[in-house]
Amino acid sequence: MAAEMSQKDRAADTLRTMFGYLGLKADVNAEERDNRVVLKISSPDAGRIIGRKGQTLESLQTLLNRIMFRGEDSPRISLDIDGYASGNNRGERHSDEEGEERPRSFRRRREEGEGGRHAGVPQEQLRSQALDAGKEVKRWGEPVTLPEMNAHDRRIIHVTLQDDPELETRSEGEGAMKKVIISLKKAE
């Protein structure tokens, strides 16, 4: 193997190795786009790679970025499996291996944000949800509990409301998916 392997090739090779350890079959192709590396994945195990609500794909992406960033300046790495990450192909039809046409399942839209891509709701929608919930808490004085969301989405809620002197936010729950509770600050 060449000593001067490009970062995109190293990232693709590392992901292939990860899939091998996990017992998953997948083809990985690397592209460079806007100072980041996009690894396009094609696999008969796509459902297992994406995971419930995209959690497995997001975890693989986070792990791969941590491996590749080890103290060196590396471009951000994004994973895309059959258009899932980009939201492309939504509503399109495609053919399976036998040539039978079938509808493509719904693909969640991912939005480019500060710090990279994520698997949740678009950032502006999250900010709007946080501000609306904050207004409701101020109006009625009762805490508002938002639905379970991943860490990235929760952070957007917390950051959106952090400078409001009347409100406080906290995450509650176990595991990766937690609820955000917005309430009035206690009088000190």
Is residue 101 in some structural domain?
Answer: no
Is residue 155 in some structural domain?
Answer: yes
Report helix, strand or coil for 59. Answer: helix
Given a cut of 50, is residue 98 above it in pLDDT? Answer: no
Give the pLDDT confidence score for residue 62 in this predicted structure. 86
Cβ atoms 122, 115 nearer than 8 A: no
Among residues 30, 60, 85, the one where a domain terminates is 85
The backbone torsions φ and ψ at residue 180, rounded to the nearest 5 degrees and listed phi first, read -110, 130
Is residue 53 in some structural domain?
Answer: yes
Answer yes or no: do 127 and 55 share one domain: no
Is residue 10 in some structural domain?
Answer: yes
Mean pLDDT for 9-15 is: 90
The per-residue pLDDT for range 29-39, each reduced to its tens digit, is: 988 887 788 88
Answer yes or no: do 5 and 56 share one domain: yes
Question: pLDDT grade, residue 164 (50/70/90)?
Answer: very high
Return the closest-CA partner of residue 24 out of 68, 81, 84: 81
Cβ atoms 28, 16 nearer than 8 A: yes
Give the pLDDT confidence score for residue 170 in this predicted structure. 95
For the domain that residue 66 is a member of, what is the CATH number? 3.30.300.20
Give the pLDDT confidence score for residue 73 in this predicted structure. 63
Specify the amino acid at residue 124: E
Predicted TM-score of the model (pTM) = 0.45
Answer yes or no: do 76 and 148 share one domain: no
Is residue 171 in some structural domain?
Answer: yes
- Helices and strands in the chain: count of H runs, count of E runs: 5, 10
Answer yes or no: do 53 and 1 share one domain: yes
Give the pLDDT confidence score for residue 88 in this predicted structure. 39
Report angle CA 174, 176, 182 to the nearest 5 degrees: 70
For the domain that residue 166 is a member of, what is the CATH number? 3.30.1370.50
Residue carrying the six token digits 């036998």: 98
Residue ranges making up the domain that contains 176? 123-184
d(Cα 86, Cα 148) in Å, to the nearest integer?
22
The per-residue pLDDT for range 50-78, each reduced to its tens digit, is: 887 778 888 888 888 888 877 666 668 88
Cβ atoms 40, 104 nearer than 8 A: no
Cβ atoms 87, 107 nearer than 8 A: yes
Given a cut of 90, is residue 100 above it in pLDDT? Answer: no
Question: pLDDT grade, residue 107 (50/70/90)?
Answer: very low
Our count of domains for the chain comes to 2
Share of the chain above pLDDT 90, in %: 24
